[in-house]
Structure formats: structure tokens, C-alpha cells
Amino acid sequence: MVKNDRMIIAAFPDVVPIGKKVAAALKAKFEEIRVHKFPDNEFNIKFKNNPKGKKVVVINSIFNETNQKLVETLLAGGVAKDYGAKKIILVATYLPYMRQDTHFSNYDSFSAKHMLEIFADFDKIIAIDPHLHRIKNMHYLSDRAESITADDVIADYIKKRFKGDFEIIGPDEESQQWSAKIAKILKKKVVILHKDRFGDSRIKQVSFNFDKNKNYIIIDDIISTGKTIAGVLGMIEKRGAKKIVCIGIHGLLTNGADKLIKKYAELITTNTISGKYSRIDVSPAIIERLKKEI
């Protein structure tokens, strides 16, 4: 039953299950955003409900046809603004273009900063675990932007699903901000590995003396090509690990990455990007943050 008539949760098709859970928990009105694609590949975005005077929360996972989904999201913010929304909030379960969080060479794009600038019609931009390494706080990029984390929901999932003794592994230094926090919540030992990167898919992993007959859970924020994870998995398997589980917050899983990982381990992701491995629901993290907006 809708009791919070001051808020609309408007979800794009890929994240309708998340949107419905968020709306139900906040007792807000839910709607699926209508996306119509013209023959020339332009989009028309339509809301079902009048946003005038409401707080409108637009939820989208901006992955898979990424640039098209960026346009869809921008148009949704524009609709809400044009029709008099009181406040417009974007919840990006996956926010792209965050990896380039500085200028890496002369005259290249600082895409994390540039991307946030295009969301001009949104009063607030909330991203789940954006891939920032050199920048620790989204406010550095924009005073309208902030991040929330899936750490607690992942820890809860591990606690319920995996019993007995296991260790947490972070496959590289960038993963430490997630793997170390989750290990702390679970009161488990964590090992952070080091890697040298030579390109988008060429890496060299530093070996580590893993214990035989032990269970390991590897945690990373983004699993893209799977090269980093596979390097770790190969080392662990050779040393006779009892069971290996790989958990990714954002399962991009490009170029057959899932097949590469499943040679060695069980693969689990959150539903920030919907897929057959997305078993961990991030809705509780979104709900907790949006309670502040009621």
C-alpha cells in the first residue's frame, strides 16, 4: 500500500525488481520507465505518473549498451525536471566511466569528472561502489555525488551461506577497500595481493603461499575480463584449496570472463548488473540510504 505519496521510485527495465523492493520498503509509488526506441536509434522516455512536487528517484544500471543507457538516464532526469519534480535523485546501481579518475597522460579524458557533469538535471547522484582508486570520496568530483556500498549485504550473504573456516582474499590493492571491510565485518583473516598491470587485459600477479585444504572467498568490486581473478584462482587451486568462491560487486563479465573463472571457482555477483550469477540483492543498501529522503 502506498503511504509515502511524496516520492516516486522510477526504475528502468533492467532494475525493475530492485525498484519494486525499494518502493515497497519506503511505501512509495513505483513505476517502470517506458523506453521507446525510434528507427534512427533515438529514444523517447515516458513516465506513467505526474512527477510535479514529488521526490523522483530514478534507478538504472548503466551497463550493456552503456552509452545508450546514459542517454536514457539523462532524458529521464529531464522529464522529471520539466514536469516540476521537487527533487530528482539518480541511483546508479552501476555507474560507468569511473575508472579514469584522473588524467593519466597529456590531453586524455578525466572521465569520472566529465561524466558526473552531464547529469545536470539531477539534484543528487548516488552510485553503488563506483570504481574509484585515487579518489576516495565522490564529493571531490561533484558536490551532488555520493557513493553507497554493498559491503554489508555481501557480508550478510556470506554469513548465511558459508559456514566454517575461510579466508578472504583481495586480488589486488584496489580491491582492498571492499575485501578488507567485509573481512572485518565477518571477523575473518584477509590477504591483499599485488599485481602489475601492462594494459587493459595483461597483468602479472604476485604469488602468495596459500594454505592447502582451506576455503577461500575472493572479493572484488568489478569483474570485467576476469584476468586478475583467474590469476589468483590458478595459484590457489595449484596449492590444493578445499573450496574457492569468487564474489564480484559488479559482474561485467566481458569476453567469456565467467567461463574463465568457473574453471576454478563458484561465481557470485550482486544484482547491480542483472545476470545469471547475480544472487546478492543490493536493495537493502539503497533502501537504507533513501530513508533519509523521506
The residues that bridge with 216 in the sheet, in sequence order, are 167, 244
The residues that bridge with 279 in the sheet, in sequence order, are none
What CATH number does the domain located at 4-149+282-293 have? Answer: 3.40.50.2020
Collapse the DSSP code of 168 into the 3-class scheme (helix H, G, I; strand E, B; otherwise coil) and give the result.
strand
Collapse the DSSP code of 120 into the 3-class scheme (helix H, G, I; strand E, B; otherwise coil) and give the result.
coil
In the chain, CATH 3.40.50.2020 sits at 4-149+282-293, 151-271
Q: What local confidence, expressed as pLDDT, does residue 203 receive?
A: 43
- Chain segment 250-277, per-residue pLDDT in tens: 999 999 999 999 999 999 999 999 999 9
Q: Give me the amino acid identity at 187.
A: K
Report the interhelical angle of 176-186 vs 151-161 (nearest 10°): 50
Residue 283 contacts residue 22 (beta carbons within 8 Å): yes
Residue 280 contacts residue 157 (beta carbons within 8 Å): yes
Q: What local confidence, expressed as pLDDT, does residue 200 receive?
A: 46
Cα distance between residue 149 and residue 202, in whole Å: 28
Cα distance between residue 22 and residue 148, in whole Å: 15
- What's the count of helices (H) and strands (E) in the chain, helices before strands? 8, 16
Cα distance between residue 242 and residue 235, in whole Å: 13
Domain covering 151-271 assigned CATH 3.40.50.2020 in the classification: yes
Q: What local confidence, expressed as pLDDT, does residue 196 receive?
A: 52
Cell numbers linked to 190: 584477509
- Chain segment 5-56, per-residue pLDDT in tens: 999 999 999 999 999 999 999 999 999 999 999 999 999 999 999 999 999 9
Q: What is the 3-state secondary structure (H, E, C) of 53-108?
A: CCEEEEEEECCCCHHHHHHHHHHHHHHHHHCCCCEEEEEEEECCCCCCCCCCCCCC
User: Which residues are CB-contacts of 126 (< 8 A; sequence separation ≥ 6)?
Assistant: 89, 90, 91, 92, 145, 146, 147, 148, 286, 289
Residue segments in the chain with a per-residue pLDDT below the cut of 70: 1, 195-210
Q: What is the pTM of this model?
A: 0.93
